[in-house]
């Protein structure tokens, strides 16, 4: 019995020992596993913390810089394995939302800055225009060369001022303003010359008869002025800036050569990008001092359909800028002096002295031929003109006019309107538009004799 008890006790002890050992072993294993796991988690937390720190210290600042227009690359996550876990994706999402919000805010700020600048420049522009009118009026009124000298200087400065304002406004998305009539290419180039500082150095060599269509005059003048200004600015003060016209099969090229310094490859790339006019101009990225020339040319070229390149070297070592105007922007206009010569009313002196009973319908036709003072303007008499004029007096008298008594009308009298009628409304319009083309030698005829 005692022996049995002993055996049982030993067995119990063995079992207990076994259980305790087993538990100890298990405990040990669990502890080890937990320790490993804690280690893993700790390192995971470390990685994430580093990642957050990286986000705050490197990624977001870089993003801010790139939003501010600096050429900075935004770095990716430190640990590339994080890309595939939700944590990394969330961080990327933060970056994304941040840049989106930043971009939107920047666009809004840009828009409002442009709108403000545009409105301000419009004010400056209209002031410059008004000033130009005042200057022109003074130039017409004062005959003193000393006064004129001052006026020419003021006019020159005002033209530059107006151009600056115009350029800034165009950069902000405004129209160039000032609608002009179609103008000869030579005048367009010289108009551009009027608006730059070193206008005396610009030499226009060839002459062409083509003109620029009305809507493109001001933009082309502006673009040319920027190019000419660039050319003059980047060359020695004693070197000329040459302008030549090169007819092409589908347009006309205006070639501007300077003898200054050539552009570096980097500058050329920038110029090419800007001149293409494909990207919207960021007024915050123009540099200091702002380089607006190429940007504004690019905007105008893209909007009006001409092409500008600066990638050729001029034979004088400087830059050759080529403005290509496609046929669509070109037209032909009649030479003004020729129109003036063609239209004169040859009124022989005796005819003028005749007291003329004015037909009631006549003033309609005579209206444009009034001079500013209402007095007859003296005109050269061309006998050839006179002869041809004498022939067709009938058409003028014909259309619903209360019988102008053909017999009593002096030969020079109804002849001019007749000729104009025959020449067609177009010619008549041109004549009136040129203002000087028509003459009134009977404007006083209404007075009772």
Partner 1 sequence: MSPPRHDRALVRPHVVTGGRAHPTRNIFDLVTLVIASRTQVAGLSPEKRKVMELCQGGALSVAEVAAHLALPVSVTKVLLSDLVDSGHIVTRASAAEPAEPSDHLLREVLDGLRARL
- 193 contacts 199 by C-beta, under 8 angstroms: yes
Spacing of C-alpha 407 from chain mean position: 60
The Cα–Cα gap between 101 and 67 comes to 10
* Residue closer to partner 1, measured from CB, 121 or 128: 128
By the 8 A CB rule, do 177 and 166 touch? Answer: yes
Residue 182 structure tokens: 């179609």
Tell me 174's DSSP state.
Answer: -
Instruction: Tell me the C-alpha distance between 1 and 61, whole Å.
Output: 87
One symbol per residue from 78 to 117: x for binding partner 1 (CB under 8 A), - otherwise; what is it?
Answer: ----------------------------------------
Cα 231 to chain center, whole Å?
18
Residues in region 118-147 near partner 1 by CB under 8 A:
129, 132-133, 136-137, 139-146
In whole angstroms, give the CA distance from residue 261 to residue 153. Answer: 29
C-alpha angle with apex 232: 227 to 237, nearest 5 degrees? Answer: 175
Helices (H) and strands (E) in the chain, counts: 14, 8
Residue 106 or residue 336: which is nearer to partner 1 going by CB?
Answer: 336
Are the C-beta atoms of residues 237 and 198 closer than 8 Å to each other? yes
Residue 102 or 177: the one with the smaller Cβ distance to partner 1 is 177
Q: Which one of residues 336, 392, 401, 423 is an interface residue with partner 1 (CB under 8 A)?
A: 336
282 or 354, CB closer to partner 1? 354
Size of the site for partner 1 (CB under 8 A): 64
Identify the CA nearest to 254 among candidates 207, 311, 200: 207
- Closer to partner 1 at the Cβ: 139 or 244? 139
Which 3-state string (H, E, C) describes 78-98? CCHHHHHCHHHHHHHHHHHHH
Based on the shown chain and the rule CB under 8 A, indicate whether residue 207 belongs to the binding site for partner 1. yes
Rank residues 65 and 194 by Cβ distance to partner 1 and give the closer one: 194
When asked if residue 449 is in the footprint of partner 1 (CB under 8 A), the reply is yes
Compose the 352-381 pattern: x for residues touching partner 1 by CB under 8 A, - for all others: xx-x----------------xxxxxxx-xx
Q: Would you state the structure tokens that stand for residue 180, as one six-digit string?
A: 């002009």
Q: How far is the CB of 435 from partner 1 (least distance, A)?
A: 6
* Binding string, residues 406-445; x marks residues near partner 1 by CB under 8 A: -----------------------------xx------xx-
Output the smallest distance, CB 347 to partner 1, in A.
Answer: 12
Task: Name residues whose C-beta falls within 8 Å of residue 235's C-beta, 6 or more positions apart in sequence.
Answer: 241, 258, 259, 260, 261, 318
| SS3 label, residue 437 | coil
Q: What is the 3-state secondary structure (H, E, C) of 339-355?
A: HHHHCCCCCCHHHHHCC
Q: Which residue's CB is nearer to partner 1, number 92 or number 358?
A: 358
Which distant-in-sequence residues (6+ apart) come within 8 Å of 294 by Cβ? Answer: 226, 270, 271, 274, 275, 310
The single residue among 63, 95, 171, 221 that binds partner 1, judged by CB under 8 A, is 221
Shorter beta-carbon distance to partner 1: residue 372 or 425: 372
Given candidates 55, 172, 176, 199, which one binds partner 1 under the rule CB under 8 A? 199
Figure out which of the listed residues 200, 287, 289, 426 binds partner 1, where binding follows CB under 8 A.
Answer: 200
95 vs 188 by CB, closer to partner 1:
188
Q: Out of 50, 331, 382, 432, point to the residue binding partner 1 (CB under 8 A).
A: 382
Tokens of 448: 């009772």
Residue 190 in contact with partner 1, rule: CB under 8 A: yes
Site track for partner 1 across 40-79, x = CB under 8 A: ----------------------------------------
Q: Is residue 381 classed as helix, strand or coil in its secondary structure?
A: coil
d(CA 368, CA 377): 13
The pattern of x and - marking residues 148 through 187 that bind partner 1 according to CB under 8 A reads xx-xxx-xx--x------------------x-x--xx-xx
The footprint of partner 1 (CB under 8 A) covers 129, 132-133, 136-137, 139-146, 148-149, 151-153, 155-156, 159, 178, 180, 183-184, 186-188, 190-191, 193-195, 199-200, 207, 217, 221, 336-338, 340-341, 352-353, 355, 372-378, 380-382, 435-436, 443-444, 446-449
């Amino acid at each position: 019995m005692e022996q049995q008890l002993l055996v049982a006790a030993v067995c119990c002890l063995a079992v207990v020992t076994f259980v305790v050992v087993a538990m100890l072993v298990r405990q040990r294993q669990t502890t080890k596993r937990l320790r490993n796991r804690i280690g893993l988690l700790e390192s995971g937390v470390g990685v994430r913390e580093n990642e957050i720190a990286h986000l705050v210290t490197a990624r977001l600042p870089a993003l801010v810089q790139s939003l501010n227009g600096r050429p900075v690359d935004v770095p990716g996550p430190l640990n590339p394995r994080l890309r595939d876990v939700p944590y990394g994706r969330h961080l990327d999402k933060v970056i994304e939302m941040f840049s989106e919000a930043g971009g939107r805010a920047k666009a809004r700020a840009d828009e409002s800055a442009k709108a403000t600048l545009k409105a301000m420049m419009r004010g400056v522009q209209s002031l410059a225009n008004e000033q130009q009118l005042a200057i022109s009026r003074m130039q017409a009124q004062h005959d003193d060369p000393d006064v004129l000298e001052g006026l020419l200087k003021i006019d020159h400065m005002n033209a530059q001022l107006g151009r600056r304002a115009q350029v800034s406004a165009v950069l902000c998305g405004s129209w160039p303003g000032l609608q002009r009539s179609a103008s000869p290419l030579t005048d367009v180039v010289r108009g551009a010359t009027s608006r730059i500082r070193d206008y005396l150095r610009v030499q226009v060599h060839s002459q062409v008869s083509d003109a620029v269509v009305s809507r493109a005059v001001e933009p082309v003048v502006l673009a040319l002025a920027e190019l000419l200004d660039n050319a003059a600015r980047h060359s020695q003060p004693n070197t000329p800036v040459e302008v030549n016209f090169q007819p092409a099969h589908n347009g006309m090229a205006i070639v501007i050569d300077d003898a200054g310094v050539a552009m570096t490859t980097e500058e050329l790339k920038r110029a090419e990008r800007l001149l293409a006019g494909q990207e919207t101009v960021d007024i915050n990225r123009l540099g200091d001092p702002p380089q607006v020339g190429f940007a504004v040319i690019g905007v105008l070229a893209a909007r009006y359909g001409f092409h500008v390149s600066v990638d050729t070297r001029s034979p004088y070592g400087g830059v050759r800028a080529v403005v290509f105007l496609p046929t669509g922007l070109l037209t032909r206009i009649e030479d003004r002096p020729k129109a003036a010569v063609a239209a004169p009313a040859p009124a022989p002196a005796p005819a003028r002295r005749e007291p003329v009973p004015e037909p009631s319908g006549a003033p309609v036709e005579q209206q444009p031929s009034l001079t500013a003072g209402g007095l007859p303007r003296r005109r050269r008499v061309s006998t050839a003109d006179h002869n041809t004029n004498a022939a067709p007096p009938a058409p003028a008298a014909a259309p619903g006019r209360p019988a102008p008594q053909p017999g009593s009308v002096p030969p020079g009298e109804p002849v001019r309107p007749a000729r104009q009628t025959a020449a067609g409304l177009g010619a008549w319009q041109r004549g009136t538009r040129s203002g000087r083309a028509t003459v009134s030698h009977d404007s006083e005829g209404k007075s009772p004799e």
